[in-house]
Amino acid sequence: MSKKSKNRKHYYLNNPGNQDILLLRDEVHKALTNEQFIVEIPVRDDEIIEIEENKNKNYSNNRLVSIKIDQLDYHNDKSTVEKIWKVDLEKPIPGISTQSKTPECAILVLQKYQDTTQNLIDEKIYRLMIILIELKSSINVKNYHDSVLKNIEGKFADGMSRMYILLTLNNHLNPIQGYHQETIYIDFQGILFYLKSNLIDNNSQLYSILNNQTDLLTCRTLLREQDKIKIKHLKVTNQMTISLETLLSK
């Protein structure tokens, strides 16, 4: 037996199964998959991601029903989409998610780029784009003290913090996954889809974003007092289909 083998440490959870804690991350992955909290979406053009507004809220008859994302097998001369995951942030899993203050979901898109800056054609660089999606049938701000815009800002901040936690469970360092020696850049983006709005001038960040004065939301997250996320907003119909390319565009 080698010295390396002799010195290997094992850590066990003190439960009836005496489980090796080094395998805990994989077990959590399996559990979240079984709960359909994190679902891998096939990268195919005949596949569609559908996102529905929370049905537990009270809506008028013209509420936003759903957003469909199509053309998932997106690629151009610079990048190719390799993996897509959908995280159901509103699914009630103890300790992981709540339904009180969160975007509807997160779409994670892993793109592969070729690094040609130093003629290293074989050098692969990856970008993981985390898209937080919030659906609102109506953004109705009646007066200066209305908190609806602050509530939406809080949802994006909360979504970023929860995704930071989930990223620590990511198994891209597993050699079987094939990414353990690659460079992966992580970007956040928020997208607000809404059916109608009735806004008045106030000093909220989201008001400035909805009026195209800026596209950056500064918020407090688990990691930073002043974190930043780029926000796009799209006024839609009751049902709308949008391409993955549109979501990824800057």
Q: Each residue of 43-58: pLDDT tens digit?
A: 999 999 999 887 655 4
| Residue 98: pLDDT over 60 | yes
| Residue 19: pLDDT over 60 | no
Among 53-57, 67-71, 110-114, the least confident range = 53-57
Indicate the pTM of the whole model: 0.83
Q: What is the pLDDT of residue 31?
A: 83
Q: Which residue in this structure is represented by tokens 């009735």?
A: 198
Average pLDDT, the chain: 80
Mean of pLDDT values over 161-174: 74
pLDDT confidence of 110, banded at 50, 70, 90? very high
- Identity at 112, one-letter amino acid code: K
CA distance 65 to 95: 28
Give 77 or 124, the one with higher predicted confidence. Answer: 77
pLDDT confidence of 169, banded at 50, 70, 90? confident
Q: Which helix (H) or strand (E) holds 153?
A: helix 148-167
**Phi, psi for residue 97 in degrees, rounded to 5:** -145, 155
Query: Which residues in 32-66 are b (16+ Cβ under 10 Å) and which e?
Result: beeeebbeebebeeeeebebebeeeeeeeeebbbe
* Residue pair 111/82 in contact by the 8 Å Cβ criterion: yes
Q: What is the pLDDT of residue 15?
A: 58
Among 34-48, 89-103, 213-227, the least confident range = 89-103
Q: What is the pLDDT of residue 3?
A: 43
Q: What is the pLDDT of residue 1?
A: 37
Token duo for residue 85: 């995951």
The sign one gets for the Cα dihedral 32, 33, 37, 41 is positive
Q: What is the pLDDT of residue 65?
A: 62
Residue 71, CA distances (Å) to 65, 68, 77, 110 in order: 20, 10, 16, 15
CA distance 21 to 27: 10
Give 198 or 65, the one with higher predicted confidence. Answer: 198
Strand partners, 112: 80, 126
pLDDT confidence of 189, banded at 50, 70, 90? very high
| Residue 2: pLDDT over 90 | no
- How does DSSP classify residue 181? T
Spatial strand order in the sheet of 79-87 = 38-41, 79-87, 105-114, 124-140, 183-198, 227-235, 216-219
